[in-house]
Homo-oligomer: A and B are copies of this chain.
Amino acid sequence: MTTSSARTFVPEIFSETVQMSQTQMNQTTSDHASTFDALCQTFRDAAKLSTTADLLEWDERTGMPRGGAEYRAEQVAHLRGLVHTLQTAPVIEEQLASLADWDAASDPHSDIGATLKCLADDYRRQCKLPSDLVQRTASCCVRGQGQWDAARKADDYSMFQPVLDEMLALKRETGELLKTDDQTVYEALLDEFEPGAKAAALTKTFADLRTELVALISEIKESPRQVDTSLITQKFPIEAQRAFSHVLAEAIGFDFNRGRLDETSHPFCTTIGPSDCRILTRYEPNFLPTSIFGTLHEAGHGLYEQGMRDDWFGLPPGSYASLGIHESQSRMWENLVGRTLPFWEHFTPQIQTHFPSELGQATAAELHRCFNSVSPSLIRVEADEATYNLHIIVRFELEQALISGELSTDDLPVAWADAYEQVIGVRPPSAADGVLQDVHWSAGLIGYFPTYTLGNLAAAQLYDAAKHSLGDIDSMVREGNFAPLRNWLVENVHQIGRTRTADELVEQASGKPLSAEPLIQSLRTRYSQVYDLN
């Protein structure tokens, strides 16, 4: 795969169109072509700046000296402001208008058609936001993450509350500007991450899922065959965890020539260029799953980024379909592949080598059981698959109440603790283990959490479709042969980009509209095996 070059801003497919039009001596198409080219160049330039801002943020969260925070906020805000200026240049509206009658764009799922449709949607959206608001939000994000990090370390919610108030005010302002007549302010924010998602529909789906999960968790609780996790709660040397994380990411196909793996307090994946994808994980000395499944999760995101079409980098055909679809890729590798018995049948010899004194005698079956133990817990990123979505439901409800003003930040820590007690059955003893556990709100990501559960739903449905197409994936995984699944995902998900919406993509790949059924089935099968349910 080659990267795009500054001087090659005509995507391949488009060059063909240009050639065709020249052959046919069709002057209008040629005009259209050069207008389209100019339009794309603006967004390619914007991508250069926004990926640079992403590097500023990656650096801020990996190695920036403490003193650098204040100026870093200015740098990021300035760059995000420039991106916004580019993306809302009035010439874009003219270009879009003059391309409205272009034949090459008539199919909204073609590269050109989807590009014009998505850019028009994005443009209308972006134009509603004044540059000043975008810059103030970017600046608040950088300061917010610094203050969140400090507050979490000090276990002191009061250090975080002022910047959370500031962020909520900015997000309410944003939502008011973006919302259409049939949207709430919260839905307008949600729409930014999961285009077309409706809070009411989500509430219904999440309620169904909650009923099923509560039933499943109750069955698991009553099972006579409980899981002893002492094997994975020993002291594991960080250096060995680091090495094993690298092995796992590389084995499933993450390309280290085009990416890297680092450490941070709240794992994430970011893309600095078409061949520069960075994943970050976290190492807990006494809990091995944190690094293993954190790495598989982020590497899943990384595979999506590395699987996209480089020649369309920065444009809709080379972008992700939605955050829910992005999350489906991380969840698939983390859970549907990474927590299976065949996966551990393959990796047991390697984990034994990396942790000889801790796991030298461990069997695949033991590890598989440990990695699938269900136990209501406080921290979302460490939650088992059965309770995970309940963590999301709590956040989904709280952030709606925060945005509507129904809940004040004064009352948030107690509301959080109450919700955890009621929904998950555990009450956080501290803010660090409660409301301060996630970076999202401080990073301006309000309306983002629901995409995690949407991702779980899509992951299960896409995995079923892959199995249907590829046959016995379990055998392939047992042999460490991850290429067939990865290639299926490249073809059916990664290279689709934004030429399909999330719903369209899932339906095209699986033949069915997105539903909760595959996820429920998948969890029931897995836990029946581990907990001997009937």
**A interface with B by C-beta (< 8 Å):** 3-6, 45, 48-49, 51-52, 55-56, 59, 63-68, 70-75, 77-79, 82, 139, 255-260, 272-277, 313
CA distance A211 to B357 in the complex (A): 66
Residue picked from A65, A73, A260, A274, most chain B C-beta under 10 Å: A65
Residue picked from A82, A258, A275, most chain B C-beta under 10 Å: A275
A258 B52 Cβ-Cβ under 8 A: no
A75 B273 Cβ-Cβ under 8 A: yes
A67 B3 Cβ-Cβ under 8 A: yes
Closest to A306 in B: B67
CA distance A75 to B313 in the complex (A): 13
Closest to A82 in B: B82
A5-B74, A48-B75, A79-B52 given; A63·B276 CB < 8 A: no
B67 A275 Cβ-Cβ under 8 A: yes
CA distance A75 to B3 in the complex (A): 13
A498 to chain B, nearest CB (A): 20
CA distance A217 to B86 in the complex (A): 61
A53 to chain B, nearest CB (A): 8
A131 to chain B, nearest CB (A): 13
Q: In the complex, what residues of B have CB within 8 A of residue A257's CB? A: 65-67
CA distance A259 to B74 in the complex (A): 18
Q: Please tell me how many copies of the chain the complex holds.
A: 2
Q: In the complex, what residues of B have CB within 8 A of residue A6's CB? A: 73-74, 77-78, 139
A52-B75, A55-B55, A78-B48 given; A70·B139 CB < 8 A: no
A276 B52 Cβ-Cβ under 8 A: no
11 contacts between A and B (CB under 8 A): A3-B71, A6-B139, A45-B78, A51-B71, A51-B75, A52-B52, A55-B59, A63-B260, A65-B256, A65-B276, A82-B82
A5 B49 Cβ-Cβ under 8 A: no
CA distance A276 to B65 in the complex (A): 6
A65: contacting residue among B55, B65, B260, CB under 8 A: B260
A275: contacting residue among B51, B65, B82, B256, CB under 8 A: B65
Closest to A2 in B: B70
A258: contacting residue among B67, B256, B313, CB under 8 A: B67
Q: In the complex, what residues of B have CB within 8 A of residue A313's CB? A: 71
Q: In the complex, what residues of B have CB within 8 A of residue A70's CB? A: 3, 5, 275
B3 A65 Cβ-Cβ under 8 A: no
Q: In the complex, what residues of B have CB within 8 A of residue A73's CB? A: 6
CA distance A239 to B78 in the complex (A): 39
Q: In the complex, what residues of B have CB within 8 A of residue A274's CB? A: 71
A71 B4 Cβ-Cβ under 8 A: yes
A63-B260, A65-B258, A67-B257 given; A273·B72 CB < 8 A: yes
Closest to A72 in B: B273
CA distance A77 to B74 in the complex (A): 21
A312 to chain B, nearest CB (A): 13
The 8 closest A-B pairs by CB, nearest first: A67-B275, A68-B276, A71-B273, A67-B258, A6-B74, A3-B70, A48-B78, A67-B257
A276: contacting residue among B45, B72, B139, CB under 8 A: B72
Known A6-B78, A52-B79; 11 more pairs at CB < 8 Å:
A3-B71, A45-B78, A65-B257, A67-B257, A67-B259, A67-B276, A68-B275, A68-B276, A70-B275, A71-B275, A72-B276
CA distance A424 to B219 in the complex (A): 83
CA distance A144 to B313 in the complex (A): 24
